[in-house]
């Protein structure tokens, strides 16, 4: 392939993929850094051709699958992804003739799901948590595996277990950083998602000099930072190898988002939330000493995260009004939102362990599972009935006539079911609750489930 990195003339977009001859930029941070001596560089991964650090991984996994004969012309890819790997796979797939199906959590930012569709990906939306949890019942990972097992046309590259994920960073990110800092890097910092970045880059840098400190940064439990995983989520992640890192550190959402805002406003660096998180972790752990040279991975830029910004900075980035103007929600929207919030109360939900106990009693609640029929068939709580949320309005006659009936609504993660509680209450049902954490929580607590034969 013709690639002239000095003139930046290429035969194909794939020539732009980074390596030590064509590295993503390292930019020194000047204004947000709390140090006098320690020098901090950001490695700007959105300079990859499809906008994120994951382009390296997508390209390396596809190359490996082609070389091993697993991926041949005419085959299709299926990959669960919180977005960036999907975007990379979709575009490299488009360039090479492989289509992509991607099962995704509905909690993934709308921007990423929309762009994936725009790129031609078959997006299958699931009621799953923000990061797909291996083994979770409706998990994007389980769904993709099933597709790959049952349909020989599909190949799952599985970024969560594929050694070519850290391998991509061992071959490119690590050598780039070593060359760009002239071997001077002393600390390498990355956010933890699949852990491909930290494991592969860290391993390469440590092989060059045992003195490089490798620091992994993770968010808190229940976080709202797309692409990264809390310690509990990391426990299920195969490429998480904490014994190969010098330390890991937690950063809470507020620290990450506040620093992300400062990076954009004070450094003019268009970094996204997980970049703010990684940098905050660096500031928490690295001492201010002469000779320290820190490289922090900035995985992608802010443009994919409008909805996250609206949530974390409602004063600066208010949501649109219904009439399309953008100076914040209209009075009526606020009124309706408040009304909805006020209608919810703590007696509306029940913990799954309590629900399990109640099911053993004489007055067992009727469980209405509002997930899709397909998800329900796969796994459900014995004795439940299934009325998918989308059909609920049309199938209300299937509910008991007696408005005193004890009813518990169940969904994947307890989000949709809360809204259905309000719908049933508005129809006069007085004894209706939602199962906290949904079927995911039920399974996590190892409570009994059943499957359609
Ligand atoms: C935005 C973002 N930040 C950080 C990461 C973490 O990278 P890794 O999966 O290599 O640990 C990812 C990975 O998906 C990501 O998309």
Q: What is the pTM of this model?
A: 0.75
Q: Atom of ligand 1 at shortest distance to CA of 239?
A: 11
Pocket lining: 264 vs ligand 1, CB cutoff 6 Å? no
C-alpha 396 – ligand 1 centre gap (Å): 43
C-alpha 228 – ligand 1 centre gap (Å): 6
Residue 403 lies in a domain: yes
pLDDT digits (tens, 9 = 90+) for 279-322: 999 999 999 999 999 999 999 999 989 888 988 998 898 876 55
Best mutation site among 46, 141, 274 for ligand 1 pocket (most ligand atoms within 8 Å of CB): 274
Q: Atom of ligand 1 at shortest distance to CA of 82?
A: 14
> What tokens were used for 413?
């993660």
Which pLDDT belongs to residue 131?
56
Residue 285 lies in a domain: yes
Contact 77/155 with Cβ under 8 angstroms? yes
Best mutation site among 60, 84, 163, 244 for ligand 1 pocket (most ligand atoms within 8 Å of CB): 84
Whether residues 270 and 352 share a domain: the answer is no
Whether residues 361 and 289 share a domain: the answer is no
Residue nearest to atom 7 of ligand 1 (CA): 193
Whether residues 119 and 255 share a domain: the answer is yes
Best mutation site among 162, 193, 199, 279 for ligand 1 pocket (most ligand atoms within 8 Å of CB): 193
Pocket lining: 300 vs ligand 1, CB cutoff 6 Å? yes
Residue 70 lies in a domain: yes
Residue 378 lies in a domain: yes
Pocket lining: 418 vs ligand 1, CB cutoff 6 Å? no
Whether residues 297 and 391 share a domain: the answer is no
Residue 95 lies in a domain: yes
Instruction: Tell me which residue of 280, 261, 60 sits closest to 191, measured CA to CA.
Output: 280
Q: What is the CATH number of the domain that holds 433?
A: 3.40.250.10
> What tokens were used for 67?
């070389």
Residue 356 lies in a domain: yes
Q: What is the CATH number of the domain that holds 147?
A: 3.40.50.1100
Domain termination site, one of 299, 317, 335: 317
Whether residues 140 and 228 share a domain: the answer is yes
Best mutation site among 58, 109, 194 for ligand 1 pocket (most ligand atoms within 8 Å of CB): 194
C-alpha 321 – ligand 1 centre gap (Å): 32
Distances (CA, A) of 227 to 28, 191, 210, 296: 24, 9, 29, 16
> What tokens were used for 167?
């391998």
Distances (CA, A) of 397 to 370, 393, 404: 15, 9, 15
Pocket lining: 168 vs ligand 1, CB cutoff 6 Å? no
Pocket lining: 191 vs ligand 1, CB cutoff 6 Å? yes
Residue nearest to atom 14 of ligand 1 (CA): 227
Following DSSP, what letter does each residue of 361-373 receive, concatenated? Answer: SSSPPEEEE-S-H
Domain termination site, one of 296, 317, 338: 317
Pocket lining: 197 vs ligand 1, CB cutoff 6 Å? yes
Secondary structure class of 88 (helix, strand, coil): helix
Whether residues 313 and 363 share a domain: the answer is no
Whether residues 113 and 35 share a domain: the answer is yes
Q: Is 206 a known active-site residue?
A: no
Residue nearest to atom 16 of ligand 1 (CA): 227
143 CB burial (10 A radius; 0-12, 13-18, 19+): buried
CA atoms of 349 and 123, how far apart (whole Å):
31
**Those residues with Cβ within 8 angstroms of residue 146's Cβ, 6 or more apart along the chain or in another chain:** none
Whether residues 297 and 362 share a domain: the answer is no
Phi, psi of 181 (to 5 degrees): -95, 5
Half-sphere exposure of 443 (CA within 13 A, CB side): 22
Residue 138 lies in a domain: yes
Distances (CA, A) of 245 to 165, 208, 262, 371: 17, 15, 28, 40
Number of domains in the chain: 2
DSSP E strand stretches across 310-356: 349-350
Q: The tokens 């709580």 sit on which residue?
A: 381
Given the residues 59, 102, 274, 417, select the one marked as catalytic.
274
Q: Is 274 a known active-site residue?
A: yes
Q: Atom of ligand 1 at shortest distance to CA of 81?
A: 14
Best mutation site among 85, 197, 224, 256 for ligand 1 pocket (most ligand atoms within 8 Å of CB): 197
Residue nearest to atom 2 of ligand 1 (CA): 227
C-alpha 191 – ligand 1 centre gap (Å): 7
C-alpha 54 – ligand 1 centre gap (Å): 7
Domain termination site, one of 275, 298, 317: 317
Whether residues 242 and 297 share a domain: the answer is yes
C-alpha dihedral sign at 93, 100, 229, 206: negative
Q: What residue numbers bound the domain in which 367 lies?
A: 346-444
Which pLDDT belongs to residue 393?
86
Which stretches of the chain drop beneath a pLDDT of 50?
Answer: 135-137
CA atoms of 349 and 432, how far apart (whole Å):
9
Whether residues 90 and 163 share a domain: the answer is yes
pLDDT digits (tens, 9 = 90+) for 191-206: 999 999 999 999 999 9
C-alpha 299 – ligand 1 centre gap (Å): 6
Pocket lining: 192 vs ligand 1, CB cutoff 6 Å? yes
Whether residues 147 and 248 share a domain: the answer is yes
C-alpha 194 – ligand 1 centre gap (Å): 7
Residue 322 lies in a domain: no
Whether residues 112 and 223 share a domain: the answer is yes
Residue nearest to atom 1 of ligand 1 (CA): 227
C-alpha 266 – ligand 1 centre gap (Å): 24
Sheet holding 432-435, edge to edge: 349-350, 432-435, 407-410, 366-369, 385-386
Which pLDDT belongs to residue 327?
55
């Amino acid at each position: 392939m013709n690639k002239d990195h000095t003139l930046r003339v290429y035969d194909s977009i794939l020539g732009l993929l980074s390596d030590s001859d064509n590295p993503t930029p390292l930019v020194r941070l000047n204004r947000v850094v709390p140090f006098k001596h320690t020098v901090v560089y950001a490695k700007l991964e959105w300079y990859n051709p499809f906008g994120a650090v994951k382009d390296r991984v997508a390209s390396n996994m596809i190359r490996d699958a082609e070389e091993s004969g697993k991926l041949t012309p005419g085959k299709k890819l299926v990959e669960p992804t919180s977005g960036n790997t999907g975007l990379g796979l979709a575009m490299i797939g488009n360039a090479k003739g492989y289509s992509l199906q991607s099962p995704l959590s509905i909690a993934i930012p709308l921007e990423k799901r929309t762009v994936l569709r725009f790129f031609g990906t078959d997006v299958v939306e699931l009621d799953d948590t923000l990061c797909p949890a291996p083994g979770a019942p409706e998990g994007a990972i389980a769904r993709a595996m099933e597709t790959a097992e049952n349909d020989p046309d599909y190949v799952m590259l599985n970024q969560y277990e594929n050694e070519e994920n850290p391998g991509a960073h061992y071959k490119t990110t690590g050598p780039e950083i070593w060359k760009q800092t002239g071997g001077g890097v002393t600390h390498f910092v990355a956010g933890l998602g699949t852990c491909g970045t930290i494991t592969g880059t860290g391993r390469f840098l440590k092989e060059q000099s045992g003195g490089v400190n490798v620091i992994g940064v993770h968010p808190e439990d229940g976080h709202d930072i797309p692409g990264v995983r809390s310690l509990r989520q990391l426990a299920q992640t195969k490429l998480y190898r904490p014994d190969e890192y010098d330390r890991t550190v937690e950063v809470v959402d507020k620290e990450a988002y506040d620093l992300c805002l400062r990076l954009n406003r004070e450094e003019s660096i268009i970094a996204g939330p997980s970049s703010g998180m990684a940098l905050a972790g660096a500031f928490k752990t690295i001492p201010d000493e002469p000779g320290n040279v820190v490289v922090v991975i900035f995985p992608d830029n802010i443009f994919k995260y409008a909805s996250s910004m609206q949530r974390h900075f409602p004063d600066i980035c208010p949501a649109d009004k219904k009439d399309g103007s953008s100076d914040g929600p209209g009075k009526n929207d606020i009124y309706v939102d408040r009304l909805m919030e006020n209608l919810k109360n703590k007696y509306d939900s029940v913990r799954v362990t309590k629900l399990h106990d109640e099911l053993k009693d004489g007055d067992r609640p009727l469980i209405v599972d509002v997930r899709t029929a397909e998800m329900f068939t796969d796994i459900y709580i014995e004795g439940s009935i299934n009325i998918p949320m989308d059909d609920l309005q049309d199938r209300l006659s299937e509910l008991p006539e007696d408005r005193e009936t004890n009813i518990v609504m169940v969904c994947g993660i307890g989000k949709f079911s809360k809204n259905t509680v309000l719908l049933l209450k508005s129809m006069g049902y007085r004894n209706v609750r939602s199962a906290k954490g949904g079927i995911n929580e039920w399974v996590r607590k190892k409570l009994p489930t059943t499957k359609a034969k």
